[in-house]
Structures are given as C-alpha cells and as structure tokens.
Amino acid sequence: MAMEGKLIGGKLYAFLDTLEKHIGVLKKEIDPPQVTELIKAIEEADKIFVMGAGRSGFVAKAFAMRLMHLGYNVYVVGETVTPRISKNDVLISISGSGETTSVVNISRKAKELIGSKLVAITQNRSSTLAEISDVVVVLKAKNKNQRDESISNIAPLGTLFELTALIFLDGLVAELMGLKSLTERDLEKRHAVLE
C-alpha cells in the first residue's frame, strides 16, 4: 500500500480539532457537584474498584494506576489479584452508553447484593448504569451507539467518550493531588520499578 504522493494530515487535523472542541464542551458542561460527590466517594471508601469494557476498560486501568500512585487502595475488576468488594468500598464503572451488559451486571451485583457505593461515569444520564448508581458523572461526548457521520469517519465508535473520560479522570487526579498536597515526587515513590 503505497502512500507516495498522498497528502497526510487532513483527517488527523480534523480529529484533533474535534477533540479540542469536545474538551471545550467538557470544561463548560462539567457539573461541580458531581465531581465533588465522586471525590467524596473515593475519599470515604476503604477500597476503590474500577471497571469498564473494551477501551473504557483501558481508561479504567489508567485511572487505577494513578489512584495507586496517589496512595489509594485500588483494584481493577477482573484482574486475578482483585479481592472481594464490600459495602465500605466504591465501584467506579465507566461506560459511554451506560448499557454495556457486563458493566451493568457487575455494577448491579456490587450495588444490590453487596451494598457497595456505585459511581457511573457515562455519557448517558438516562442509562441503566446511571439509574442504579449513587453518583453519576456525565461526560458529554458521542458514544458508540450514536451516529454522526461528520464525527464517525474520524472518531469511530466510542473514541470521543473514551478520550473525554481519560482526560477528565486525569484532571481529577490533578485535583486529588492538590487536595492531598502531593507532588510528582510523591507519586514517583509508588511508581513501578519492575518494568
């Protein structure tokens, strides 16, 4: 597949422009009380569990890593070393649609059978996941079930939600660092050395 003579960058720049606009929307439409409730749930939990399916699962793992660096007792659902969840713990579930079967089923079990606090990070405020959650953080972005040809051809499926969630959660890490008066040096002390 020869690319010689073809102009590269049109779709790349369109993607970056679209992402920049979505970050602007995120900044304008973030609900501070939702963020405060999320921080409170994290701070009050004995253990923090995070989950998502597919690429949202990768976002959850990235967030879990930073929470560990901040000194929290955090686990990723589905990993072999993940312990039992209890009623004093919080489960943070990430799903753009809020309807991902595995995420909804596990979240329901944690909430209804165990009594754990449940946080939903979703694009869909009226989803099943949001309806069963104690705390809902809504991130405005196109999810995999929405069709918008102007976006779908450069950011397919759930790309914009996943990136918006990653950016939001990294911003939340910065907020938690400030609240705990931590520096990058403090986080380095917990960073992996067996790489």
> Which residues, listed in sequence order, are joined to residue 151 by a DSSP beta bridge?
none
Long-range contacts of the stretch 145-152 (C-beta < 8 A, 24+): 145/97, 145/99, 151/18
Check the CA dihedral 78-128-86-71 and report its sign.
positive
Distance CA 37, CA 164 (A): 19
HSE at residue 31, side-chain half, CA atoms within 13 A, is 13
Active-site residue 184, yes or no? no
Distance CA 60, CA 93 (A): 8
Catalytic residue among 99, 131, 162, 188: 162
Residue from 130, 125, 84, 85 nearest 103 by CA: 130
Active site positions, annotated: 162
